[in-house]
Structure 1
């Protein structure tokens, strides 16, 4: 989600270069990571804040402009403001979607390989997708596993 923000990589690079730590390589790495963590937390609060609240605010502003437009046409300045609010809403929706996609992957990494019903469904689906039930070699259809093995080896 943070990568969607403008200049994020440059900001992190500037922070990283700006940290001056003396000591062994591993000590420097640990201290720089701690400092980066603090700066990222502060930056996240300043830049993103509460994405859900921002999304709700943008949606209410869009609804305001829509209700105003039903009564009278919007001026060019008001139409620009509405478009800006619409862009803000789209940005918030994209960040929220990215957050949940990353969260689901994190859950899969933590719990996906446990002996769960979900894991077995995923594994079986993958096995079904990778199964060759029939192969045509030189116009000769082969269906049994042994015939397919022999036919592929001969071809």
Structure 2
């Protein structure tokens, strides 16, 4: 369903419009294996139970294909049992904030260990989130290549800063930072080493 809504005229005699295009194209549910699942409790048991099921196919490749399909279905069901990382991190941060506010009023005696446990849990969740986004970043870069050029240019600039040479020490011990002088030092060094 497409809608066109006119907006108020501010300065000119033209009427600005907002066009909203909505489609009802069904989106296929793609199964995506997440790297951080391996570190979660119950993952190996789920894989083991699914993989040990017997399939009665004549050819070994058909049996392996069926095992992978079964494993995909089992992992889809298994991953529904745990919450989303972003929501879990937000809720843990709320608990820590409440405990910090309570500590301003009175010392935390019974709650001290609980806050410590929640903080450790947040660290684990942040590690899992890091693994998740590390994988997402590489997939996004492969799929859309130069779409996110600002980010990748910034990364390349940072890498260039780390790899750039600010100054060189000459054979007599003087420190040189001029580009042409550094170029001469490098040229002479490799010329003497490589020969004519």
Q: Is 2:75 the partner of 1:31?
A: no
Larger radius of gyration: 2
Q: Give the C-alpha shift of residue 117 in structure 1.
A: 5.9
Q: TM-score, normalised by structure 2?
A: 0.56
Change (3 A) 1:117 1:52: closer
For each residue in 1:33-61, what CA deviation from the matched residue of structure 2 results, as whole angstroms up to 9, or x when unmatched? Answer: 111111111221213x2111111111111
Higher relative contact order (CA 8 A, sep 6+): 1
Q: Is 2:55 the partner of 1:21?
A: yes
**Rounded Cα–Cα distance in structure 1 between residues aligned with 2:113 and 2:147:** 54
Q: Which runs of 5+ in 1 are unaligned?
A: 130-140
Aligned to 2:134: 101
Change (3 A) 1:104 1:149: farther
For each residue in 1:119-142, what CA deviation from the matched residue of structure 2 results, as whole angstroms up to 9, or x when unmatched? Answer: x966xx89xx6xxxxxxxxxxx66
Aligned 8 A contact 2:85 2:129 in 1: yes
Change (3 A) 1:17 1:34: closer
**Rounded Cα–Cα distance in structure 2 between residues aligned with 1:115 and 1:70:** 48
Size of the aligned set, in residue pairs, is: 137
Matches within 5 A, 1:4-153: 4-6=39-41, 8=43, 10-23=44-57, 24-47=59-82, 49-76=83-110, 78-112=111-145, 143=187, 148=190, 151-152=193-194
Q: Which runs of 5+ in 2 are unaligned?
A: 1-35, 164-184
**Rounded Cα–Cα distance in structure 2 between residues aligned with 1:63 and 1:116:** 35
**Rounded Cα–Cα distance in structure 2 between residues aligned with 1:12 and 1:103:** 24
Aligned 8 A contact 2:96 2:119 in 1: yes
1:75 partner SS: coil
1:22 partner SS: coil
Aligned 8 A contact 2:55 2:63 in 1: yes
